[in-house]
Amino acid sequence: MNLEDLKRTSGEWLRGTGPESDIVMCSRIRLARNLADFPFINRAGRNEKAEIESQVRSALNDPRLELSYLDVNAMGPIDRQFLVERQLISRELASAEGPRGVAVGPRENVAIMVNEEDHLRIQLMNSGLSLRDVWEQINALDDQLESSLDYAFSPLLGYLTACPTNVGTGIRVGVMLHLPALVETKQIDKVFRALHKINLAVRGLYGEGTQAFGDFYQISNQRTLGTSELELIRNLSDVVPQIIQYERTARQALVNERRQVLHDKVSRAYGILKTAHTISSEETMLLLSSVRLGINLGLIDDLEIPTVNELFIHTQPAHLQKIQGAELEVDERNVARASYLRGRLSNGRHLTS
């Protein structure tokens, strides 16, 4: 696997299938792990980082894992940003220095970052609401890696991590939700305040410190110490259906009370995407969010959710430049993005009445 392969495919989490996939884009679990005989990354020198990468890469080379390793340190800025947009590495790994990389599974549902904040960040994502399935898969993967790597572990505290908030299980359980109706009806802040009260974090599309482009939000646990993995998964699994119900109720209210206004908004969004000759990434995300909502409410015919999900990613700056095969300035990207959208959406698709 290389970046050219990824440019022509879509990840598991973009399939638009699985339980509640009209609202839940994907379920994701990350595990933070460190090797016992090395300092944490923020205290490790270049030689130590190189040795960490070497040991981890050797373990990842097990053919049973079916992983392809990408050397992030050898990549240019666009390629690194491409992997960030793809949700395969974090912004922190992209901007770090020294030996580092990521191992990616054939369906892109597995990504193992090496030398990010911790020596390993193991990630597994599936489309839709499937936290229990994701846990079973990532737990088996973690066990397999631990059989060949000596993890830093304390009988008293659990897994030792660079950030104290991850000590214990080292787990981050999350879902990515599309919540346009809660945003439209101005109920989103009330939902977020309730989540914060029960120690759940709300982040944007690309994680901590990012904005919620296209009405996408990541919701995950904040604490790991003193709570088991299954308890954390159960807590989030209990809360997410309530958020889904709030979003469904808000969508139905929009249909019942503001159908013409909603239909007009969806129509305009779809029309702009199909005809614009220059468009920014931010506007594209906003308009695609309306189109995605329109599809799920039956206002758009003959356009599939996986296509819209893919457009969210393929119209991002690095993806666009990879598809075009050239570095582009902002204005050039806006023109290329509009051209790409016109090409993808010009197959006679239409709005229902």
pLDDT tens by residue, 45-100: 999 999 999 999 999 999 999 999 999 999 999 999 999 999 999 999 999 999 99
Burial class (CB in 10 A: 0-12, 13-18, 19+), 257: exposed
Per-residue burial over 137-154, b = 16 or more CB atoms within 10 Å of its CB, e = otherwise: bbbebbeebeeebebbee
Sequence-ordered list of residues with C-beta below 8 angstroms from that of 228, at least 6 positions apart, any chain: 169
The residue with tokens 């997410």 is 240
Residue 116 is given by DSSP the state S
Neighbours of 130 (CB within 10 A): 22
Q: Which residues of the chain have pLDDT under 70?
A: 205-213, 347-353
* Cβ–Cβ under 8 Å, residues 69 and 54: no
* Cβ–Cβ under 8 Å, residues 169 and 229: yes
Sequence-ordered list of residues with C-beta below 8 angstroms from that of 26, at least 6 positions apart, any chain: 12, 13, 125, 126, 127, 128, 175, 176
Amino acid 301: pLDDT: 87
Q: Tell me, what amino acid is at 310? A: E
pTM, whole model, 2 decimals?
0.91
Amino acid 352: pLDDT: 41
Amino acid 351: pLDDT: 41
Rounded Cα–Cα distance for residues 202 and 209 (Å): 10
* pLDDT tens for each residue of 169-216: 999 999 999 999 999 999 999 999 999 988 899 987 654 444 556 799
